[in-house]
Structure 1
């Protein structure tokens, strides 16, 4: 069974259930503005029982996806008109922004439910969506029609047409039989064959979508295994560079970092992470997943410092390793204001402690 957290990780999976807005009312009644179509940011926050700034932060991180789902921002004359015609009759006292107002459709609110991590209401909506999807998949379906069945049916029609014409034809000339056969085939070609083609096209499209979903499920199972396995240092030691980098990126997001992206991490090269802390500082991270028994040297720190400060203009620089740092490496890191996340600090961070450099 797919866990509700899968919707947080997969935009493809979110898109597949984007129209199931009835899930919102199944979990909790969603109040709408007087136009019957939209809700404000405050109303979205009230529905999911979170602070308004949490929704604002989510909007910043996923603006493109939410805009495709129906979120829009009113400004200028559009905002003035909406205030006059809609919000003027709204019973709730709503402080009006001076320059813009974000509006969400029900579809956009459902999209928020599939992105919002720290909300019990959002989790219940995701669970409902996946439960109904699973029930639909498990419902009995008619057997698919494949290419072999299609061609067999056409051959059967040909035989029946030929037999029928032969039995009904009284003309001795072969030409009369050929004309009759052509007439019957023409009728079938204009009726039965197009219908069968539509059936085949629908079946092929369904098969393509099932293949896509299967590939997505494989990816999600791997992501969920990584989530489950990341509770111990042994699990971190078993990760390759790319997996280690993705896991460190998740820890950064957990501590409030935004726009977090992972670069590198192919082969034996270290993975890099770029992003911003919750208060807007530029974050640069290098992740080194090395074999137990090795260590981070002062040369490793110096190379990272030059890259982070000169190339990326980092405000916060983290060098994260699954192995210890040498004494000289720790001294160089302290001198250049690089946070050395050595094995002991990484274990505490991985087990839920917040990293002070990100606060």
Structure 2
């Protein structure tokens, strides 16, 4: 199995596992900005229990890699628009934003953080499981299991021993420096191709349903709409709500779930189980605002497995509707309590 320190050395390996952001919450909950998608430099530092200077220094050293994974700095009208849509309060002329993928990237680069080390360990555990999962004959010609084991063994050796050895030789080399750099680049290209080959096999397994879903949001994405409504109802009961009733289907008068909060306020909930690339649009939010009025609800929650459009978020804010987007839904499902239910 790969040692967690190999991620510090191998950019190609970091690229191959950059989408496994679910491991962040396996270590501890990652707090997000109100938009449910980004965190600030200070929030990243707090998550990894390091100083802000350490994160800024990391950005300086690896800016291109982090930018490719979602890091960006807002200023001017772009910053003003973001503040308005997300509700964030900031008085600085610029704002650095990290996506969940960028935070994972930081975890793979940050040396002096126990949290980052744990994230790397969980990440490679998941990757190891994916690589060692048996591959069924779901393609015309199944890969030879022996070849698959050899590929993994070679990738391990290249990333863990050969590339670091080349790095050491390059540091101490003289006339052969160019040739050694060229050889190292060739080795890294081979490593990258082997990793990509492994990733393709894993993706094929996912398509065929050969692997179980992992992570909070992955499990929720695997639900149907009825299971999702039951999941949200269970979260409400967990947080002390009473008289929780699932309506669903026709005749629900626009409310999928209703009940009372722990302090007696009446609530209504709309649930939308959709693919992550879709959105809740303004017309749908306007309709739910009418539902809140119809039910004379004190609390209105719109829980969705997809993002909300900027217009729908603006309507929700104006009408007092809590929009539970993917990021907030993940935190809620992982144990956090919705602020509106407190």
TM-score (norm 2): 0.46
Answer with 1 or 2: which has the greater Rg.
1
Larger relative contact order (Cα-Cα within 8 Å, sequence gap ≥ 6) = 2
TM-score (norm 1): 0.44
